[in-house]
Structure 1
Amino acid sequence: MMPNITRGGSAAGLMSYLVGQSTREEHRHNVHENPHVVAGHDAVVQGITDGELSMDDALDIANALDEPRRTFGTQVTAPVKRWDPEAERNVKIGDKPAHMWHASLSIKAEEGQLTDEQWAGIARDFVREMGFDDGNLDALGSDDDAPAACRWVAVRHGGSTAGNDHVHIAVNLVREDGTKARVHDDYKRAQQIANKLEHKYGLQVLTSREQDREAQRGAKPAEVDRVAAGKARAADRDELRRRLRSAAVSATGERDFIERARDARVLIRPRYEKGSTTKVVGYSAALVPPRNEDGSRGTAVWFGGAKLDSALGLGQLRNRWNSTEADERDAVEVWTARGDAARKHEYDVPNQGRPARLPWETVQRLNAHGQNVVPDRSAGFNRHAAIDMSGAFAQASIYFERGEHGPFAQASDVFARIGARDRFTNQDPGRVKEQNSALAANAAYTARLVQRATGRDSITGWTAVFRQLSRVGKVIAQERQLAGDTAAVVAVQRAMANAMRAADEVTAQAPAAPAPSTPSVAPMPTRRGPEQTPGGRDRGTER
C-alpha cells in the first residue's frame, strides 16, 4: 500500500476534487465514479446520507471539516519556496495556507478491489496511528494527556487510470480545541503505518520498505498514471535512477560522472554550500522534458540525487571514488557549466545518448566480489558488491531493454536496496580489501575475463559480464542468508533468476540496431598500472 501526501489551504477545493468536479490539471489523472464517504469524524459525517455525493454534499462536508479553524482563527501555513538561480537552491519567499492534509492510500491493481468496510477500517487505523484522532493513547498514558481530535473524512471515488483501488483521507490540521496537529516527519510515519496496515489487512507487503525505507522513493501516483496512459514509458525518477547508476558505475571520478550523465541526456545542476559558489555539496537531476504540441519544451522536473537513491548522493559517490579535495575542485568548472545551462533552460545534451562503456576496472571489481569467501565478507564489502551489481544491471538495461524497464532494471533496483543498508567510507576495511583483491589476488583471472569481455563482439563481452554477475549475485544471496535476512535472499534470487533468463535470450543474438545508449565493455589498457594524476588519483582509461 502506497501513501501519497499533499497539503493545501481549501477544504472546499479538496472536496470538489474528491467528488470529481475539480478543474485543476493535476486532478485529471483519476477516474471519478460514485464518490462516497466510507468513514470520518462524527461531526463531519452526521447528516451525510449513504450513496453518491453531490456537490452540495461536498461543500457541507468542507464546512464541517473547517469549523474548528474558523471558530478559533488558528492559522496553519507551509513555506513557499522558489528556485534562486544565484544561490542555486530553493529559498523561502513566503507562506501559504496549509491546514488541509490530504493522503491517498492505494493498492496495486493486481490486488483487486477492497470493500467499503475494509477501506473504512484502514482509514480509521491510519488516522489514529498518525495521531489525528483522540483514540491513539499508546504513547500518551491517559485520556487526560490525549490531544483533541482532528476532523477528517475518507472518500472513495473509483480507481485510478492505472486500475489502482484507493481511498482519500482529508484531515483539517486544526484540532477541536484550536491547537495544531503535529505533521513533522509525516511522510516517514505514513510509510511505517502503511507497512503495519499491510500486515494487519493481508495486503501485499512492500518488502523494499521493510528492507530499507530510505534507499529509493517510489513514483507518485500521477507519475504511475502517466506511464499507464502511454504518456511516458517509465516514471521520470525510475529512468533517472537507471541512467545515473550507469554513469556512476562507469565513472572514474566526479568530473567524469558529470560528463557521463550529460552523455546519457541527463540534465544536472549543482547545489552549493550556503554562501559559496565554488563548494558543491549536492546536485539534482532531470530528464530532458518532452516537446509540447507547439514544438516548445515542457518544464524539467528535478530530483535530488540522494532522494532518487541513497547511493547516488554526492557524498556517497565521492566516498565511492575515494575523491580528494583536488578532485572536487577539478569538477567545479563542469558543475558550473551544467548549472548555467540548466538555469538558462539550455538543454546542452546530445540528441541521442552517446555510447557508454563498462570500464575494465568495473569488470575487475565484479570479479573480486565473486572471488571472496562469504564468511569473510563485511557488511560494507557486501554493499560495494551490491552497488556495482546495481550499476552493471542498469547499463545492461539501457543497452538491451532500451526504453522499457524489464528484468535488468528490476535487478538494478533490488541490488540498490541491498546496498543501501550501509554507507561508503574511505576507511572501510572491506573497501581496502576489495581494492587489494581487485588489483592483486585475482589479477590473472580478471585479465582473462576482460580479454573475453572486450572482444569485437559486444554480445560476447556481455555474455562474460553476465556470467560474472550471476556469480556475484549468488555470493550476495549467501551472505544475506548467513545474516538471517530471508526477505533479501528471496528478492535477490528472484531478481537474478529473471535477469539471467533475460540474459540468455538477449545474448542469443545481437540487437537488431544500436540502442540509444549503447554500453559495451571498455578494453583493458595496455599499460601496466593505472594512470596517475599529479595528485595520485587513478583517472581511469576513458578521460
Structure 2
Amino acid sequence: MFAKITTGDRMGGLLSYLAGEGRANEHTDPHVVAGDATVMAWHFDEQLTRESALDLAHHLDRPRRNFERSAKSGGVATKTKPHVWQCSLSLRSEEGQLPDEEWQKIAEAFVERMGFGDHEGTKAPTRWVAVRHGLSAGTVDEKTGQLGGRNDHIHIVVNLVREDGTRAVRHNDFIRARDLCRELEKEFGLLPLDPNSYEVARSHARATWEEKRRDERGAGADPRIPWAELDDDQQRILVAEEFASPEEFERAWSARETHAETIVSAGQYQYGEQEQAARRKARGRFEADRKAGRETREWRFLPKAERDALINAAIVAEQPRWAMARTVRACAGASADEAEFVRRMRQHGLVVRPRFARGRTDIVEGYSVAVRPEAGESPIWYGGNTLGRDLALPRLRAEWPSTPQSADAAVAEWSAGKAGSPAVAAGRETQSPDPAMWQDAAARIAELRKQLAHVPLDDHGAWAKVARETAAAFAAWSKATEPTPGPFAAAADTLARSAQTTKPIRPMTALPSVAGTAYLLMAASKGGPAAQMAMLRQLIALGKAVHDMHAATSAAKRATNIEQTIRGQLAAVDARLAAASSPAAGPAASRGHSGHSGPGATPAQPAQRPTTAPGRPWTGPGEPGRPDRGIER
C-alpha cells in the first residue's frame, strides 16, 4: 500500500473534486466509506454529489472557521496555516478491489495511528472523512499503448484544526505514513512493497472471491461469506488454483515468508520526499523556459496532466538524496583529510554549505550539500546526517588526522565553498595514482579479510567500519565507471545500510583500513581487467563477510539484500572481467556490453538472479565451493 500526502486550505474545492468526474472521467462511484462520528451518522455510504460534498466540507471546516471567527472578534490578527491534510492510500494494481468494510477499518486505523484521533481521550478529535471513487486513471505504456496501473484507493481528508482550536501535529507525516502502511499491510493481509509470487496469487484469489461476492449481492442472491472469514485451508486451496501446477504452488508456499527491501535495494527513497524534490525541479526548469521566452504560460495555469507529466519526468531522472549520499560517501572514502573531502564534493558537482559554530567563522560543526542547480532552480539541501548517519561530520572526522594545520585548511575550503570561490589549494584529487596501487590495495583487503575471522559478532563498531569502507569503495567505482547507477551503485547503497549506527561506536578490534581503495577507484586508474577483477573479488569477499555477520545475528533481510545484490549484479560484472582478462579475449572483450568502457557498464540483458536452496552455503564469485570464513563459527 502506498501513501501520497498533500496539504492545502480549500476544503470545499478538494471535496468537490473528489465527488466530481475526475481529470479523466475516472471517478465512477464517489461515496463515503469512513469518517468521524458525525460523518458516519449522516454521510456513511452516501453517494456524493457536488451539493452533498460541499455540505460535507462545511461540516469538516467548522472548527477552523469558529477558531478564526473567535480570534478576529478578540482583535487578534490570524494567519492560518494550510489546514486541509489529504492522503491517498493506494493498493498495488495486482491487489484488485477491497470491500468498503475493509477500507473503513483501514482508514480508521490509519487516522488514529497518525495521531489525528483523540489519543485515548487526551486530545480533542479532528474532523475527517474517507472518500472512495473507483479505480485510478492508470498510466499508458508509451511503447504498447496499453493502459495499466489502475489502483483501488481511498482519499482521507483531515481538518488539522481540532475541535478545541489546537492544531494536529503532522511532523514527519511522510515517514510516519510510510511506516504505518507497512504495519497495515501485515494486519490486513495486503501486498507489501516487494511481494513474492505466493502473495500476488493470494491477492488475485481474494480479489476474484470478493468480486463474485459483490456480483451475488447485487443480483439479490445470498452472497458467499467474506474472504477474511474463510479458514486457512480454504484460502490455501483457492490460492493453489492460481498456479499452473502443484509443484509451482509448493515452491511459492515454501518461500512465502521471503521478502526483499525494495526501497533499499533499488536505491529509492520515501515517495513524498521524492515527489516534492521533483516538483521543485520541474517548476524551476519550467520557469527558466518562461524567462527565456520558450514558454508563455504560467506554472499554476498548466493542466494537471501536463504538470504531472513534467513532475514524473523529474522523478525518473532524479533521485537526489540517494545519488548525493553515494557521491558524498565516495568523496569521504577517497579523501585523506577534511579539506580534500570538501574539494572532492565540489569537483563532483555538489555545492556545499558549512554550519559554523554560533558567533564563529573558524569552527565548522556540520554541513549541508546540494546538487549544483541549473538556471532558474533552487538548490535542494541535505545535511550530512540526513544522507546517512555515517556521513555526519563528527563521524567522518574520526577517520581523518586532527591537527591545527588540517583544521585551518578545512575551514578555508569550507569558506570558499560557501562563497562559491575556487578551491584554496589543490591536493590528491588532481593527481593520478600509480597503477601499481591496485595490487597493494587488493593485498590490504585480503589482510582485512583474514582478521575479520577473529572479530566478534557484537563488535558493532568494527563491522560498521568494514561496511562503510566497502560501500565507499563501490560508490567511488560507480562514480568513475557508471554513467547511470548500476551494479556498483546498488552494492554501495546496500552495504551502506550496514554502516548506520544510532551513535558513534568505537571498534573493539583494531583492523587495517582499506579507505585508500576508494581513492584508487575514484581516480579511475586503469589497472587492467585482471587487476580490476582481483579488486572486485576482494570487495565482494568483504561484502560476503558482512552478509555472514548479518546471517549469524538473525538479520535475515539485511543479509538477503546483500546476497541478492552481489549474486544478482556484481556476479555479472565479475564474469565480464574474467572474460576480458583471459588470453583469448579480444579488444572488444575489455568493453562492457553497452559500449561504455569500464567494468561497471550495464549489460545489454540483465543477469538472471541465481537462487539459493534453503540451508545451502553461499559462496561469492571467484571462490566456488568454499564459503568465506569471515564469521562462520
In the alignment, which residue of structure 1 is the partner of 2:486? 406
Conserved? CA contact 1:288–1:300, under 8 Å: yes
Cα gap change, 1:120 to 1:268, in 2 (>3 Å):
farther
In the alignment, which residue of structure 2 is the partner of 1:204? 192
Cα gap change, 1:277 to 1:209, in 2 (>3 Å):
farther
For 1:337, give the aligned amino acid.
A
Structure 2: gaps spanning 5 or more residues:
72-77, 141-148, 195-258, 279-307, 581-589, 602-633
Cα gap change, 1:262 to 1:185, in 2 (>3 Å):
closer
What are the Cα deviations for residues 131-167 of structure 1, in whole angstroms up to 9, with x where unaligned?
A: 3224x54xxxxxxx44332111234572676948454
Greater share of strand: 1
Matched, 1:419 2:485: no
Matched, 1:478 2:461: no
What are the Cα deviations for residues 168-218 of structure 1, in whole angstroms up to 9, with x where unaligned?
A: 432212223444434456455444433321221233168898999xx9953
TM-score (norm 2): 0.60
How far did 1:104 drift? Answer: 4.2
Conserved? CA contact 1:242–1:394, under 8 Å: yes
In the alignment, which residue of structure 2 is the partner of 1:523? none
Conserved? CA contact 2:33–2:44, under 8 Å: no
Conserved? CA contact 1:272–1:279, under 8 Å: yes
1:171 to 158, 168, 171: 158
In the alignment, which residue of structure 1 is the partner of 2:98? 115
Larger Rg: 2
Distance, in Å, in 2 between the alignment partners of 1:369 and 1:192 is 37
CA RMSD of aligned residues (A): 4.5
Cα gap change, 1:313 to 1:199, in 2 (>3 Å):
same
Cα gap change, 1:11 to 1:365, in 2 (>3 Å):
farther
What are the Cα deviations for residues 344-388 of structure 1, in whole angstroms up to 9, with x where unaligned?
A: xx999xxxx999979868756644442220653511111111112
1:382 to 453, 456, 463: 463
Conserved? CA contact 2:441–2:514, under 8 Å: no
Q: Secondary structure at the match of 2:386?
A: helix
In the alignment, which residue of structure 2 is the partner of 1:11? 11
Conserved? CA contact 1:374–1:479, under 8 Å: no
The answer to which structure, 1 or 2, has the higher relative contact order (CA under 8 A, 6+ apart) is 1
In the alignment, which residue of structure 2 is the partner of 1:151? 127
How far did 1:272 drift? Answer: 2.0
2:27 to 31, 34, 37: 34
Distance, in Å, in 2 between the alignment partners of 1:17 and 1:407 is 44
2:332 to 248, 264, 274: 248
For 1:388, give the aligned amino acid.
E
Matched, 1:459 2:533: no
Q: Secondary structure at the match of 2:478?
A: helix
How far did 1:321 drift? Answer: 3.0
Cα gap change, 1:467 to 1:197, in 2 (>3 Å):
same
Conserved? CA contact 1:48–1:57, under 8 Å: no
Matched, 1:428 2:507: yes
Distance, in Å, in 2 between the alignment partners of 1:366 and 1:20 is 63
Distance, in Å, in 1 between the alignment partners of 2:419 and 2:182 is 42
Cα gap change, 1:408 to 1:428, in 2 (>3 Å):
same
Matched, 1:308 2:424: no
For 1:274, give the aligned amino acid.
R
Distance, in Å, in 1 between the alignment partners of 2:504 and 2:139 is 41
What are the Cα deviations for residues 12-57 of structure 1, in whole angstroms up to 9, with x where unaligned?
A: 45546756899xxxxxxx9883184443224346347755x66555
In the alignment, which residue of structure 1 is the partner of 2:110? 126
For 2:508, give the aligned amino acid.
P
What are the Cα deviations for residues 472-511 of structure 1, in whole angstroms up to 9, with x where unaligned?
A: 1221111112212122221221121123233135534324
Distance, in Å, in 2 between the alignment partners of 1:257 and 1:131 is 42
Distance, in Å, in 1 between the alignment partners of 2:161 and 2:50 is 24
Distance, in Å, in 2 between the alignment partners of 1:347 and 1:40 is 58
How far did 1:230 drift? Answer: 6.5
Conserved? CA contact 1:38–1:119, under 8 Å: yes
How far did 1:262 drift? Answer: 1.6
Matched, 1:67 2:51: no
Conserved? CA contact 2:269–2:322, under 8 Å: no
What are the Cα deviations for residues 242-273 of structure 1, in whole angstroms up to 9, with x where unaligned?
A: 22222122122211111111221122222222
For 2:184, give the aligned amino acid.
L
How many residues end up aligned between the 2 structures? 455
Q: Which moved more, 1:98-107 or 1:458-467?
A: 98-107
Distance, in Å, in 2 between the alignment partners of 1:479 and 1:106 is 37
Alignment of 1:336-375 (within 5 A): 336-341=415-420, 366-371=445-450, 372-373=452-453, 375=455
Cα gap change, 1:416 to 1:127, in 2 (>3 Å):
same
For 1:471, give the aligned amino acid.
A
Distance, in Å, in 2 between the alignment partners of 1:75 and 1:161 is 47
TM-score (norm 1): 0.69
